[in-house]
Amino acid sequence: MLRSPEGSPPKGNRSLAYTIIETCIGCTACVKKCPTEAITGLRNEIHIIDSELCIDCGACGAVCPPEAILDDIGDICRTFPRRDLPLAKVIEENCIGSGCELCINICPFEALSLRDAPNHHDFYGMATVDPKRCTGCRLCEQACGWAAIYIDPPREMLKKSVYPIEILTPKKGKGLQRARAGAGAE
């Protein structure tokens, strides 16, 4: 069951919501990954992002096979292999655990929970991440006042213009072939 994100920025504080462009193949990967159900569309047709529901988290762009999603400033989002998708990481030394639980309460996918930590400074435990539920939406990172949770990779790595290395997301091996040819030409 999804909960509404209480940490989404006010409309006046951002340029625009993420946008799906004409290269969308209608695969529905973004629909399944969106933590706020902001994306709609039929299979094999261009999907639409509702700007009122979009929280600019980038979860959709990280799973879009044709890289058909623009971020909040108009840069193309980069697709990640499943093993490298954005994921929350907890810094145990900073987590105060129970009594706070801001990250746990804001997570729309219930991907965070308290875990007993006998060697930890908090008697009641600390936050732990369920990687199968986490979308890397960054709501927990924004909610934590103790810098105890962050999303890896960092937000700027989600941009294709900043991190365009095709070797990491080869399309039918062509990216790897071009990289090898480029290395051999030097």
pLDDT bin (cut points 50, 70, 90) of residue 65 is very high
In a domain, 159, yes or no: no
In a domain, 165, yes or no: no
Does residue 59 contact residue 2 with C-beta atoms inside 8 Å? no
State the residue for tokens 């399309």.
Answer: 171
The domain that holds 74 is classified in CATH as 3.30.70.20
Are residues 55 and 93 located together in one domain of the fold?
no
Pinpoint the alpha helices (H) of the chain.
29-33, 59-63, 102-106, 139-143, 174-185
In a domain, 183, yes or no: no
Which of 12-26, 52-66, 94-108, 152-166 has the weakest average pLDDT? 152-166
Q: What is the pLDDT of residues 135-172, one digit of tens each?
A: 898 899 999 999 999 999 887 787 877 655 554 544 54
Q: What is the pLDDT of residues 3-12, one digit of tens each?
A: 334 444 444 4
The domain that holds 106 is classified in CATH as 3.30.70.3270
Average pLDDT, the chain: 80
Q: 10 or 110, which is more confident?
A: 110
Residue 76 has pLDDT above 60, yes or no: yes
Residue 45 has pLDDT above 90, yes or no: yes
Are residues 73 and 91 located together in one domain of the fold?
no
What residue numbers bound the domain in which 95 lies? 86-152
Are residues 70 and 16 located together in one domain of the fold?
yes
In a domain, 158, yes or no: no
Does residue 88 contact residue 149 with C-beta atoms inside 8 Å? yes
Tally the residues of the chain: 186
State the residue for tokens 């929970």.
Answer: 113
Are residues 43 and 16 located together in one domain of the fold?
yes
Are residues 98 and 147 located together in one domain of the fold?
yes
In a domain, 108, yes or no: yes
State the residue for tokens 């219930």.
Answer: 110
Are residues 28 and 42 located together in one domain of the fold?
yes
Last residue of a domain, one of 80, 105, 122: 80
CA-to-CA distance for 105 and 5, rounded, in angstroms?
10
CA-to-CA distance for 49 and 55, rounded, in angstroms?
10
Give the pLDDT score at 38.
95
Give the pLDDT score at 167.
44
Are residues 108 and 139 located together in one domain of the fold?
yes
Range with the largest mean pLDDT of 6-10, 69-73, 173-177, 182-186: 69-73
Give the pLDDT score at 15.
53
Structural domain total, the chain: 2
In a domain, 99, yes or no: yes
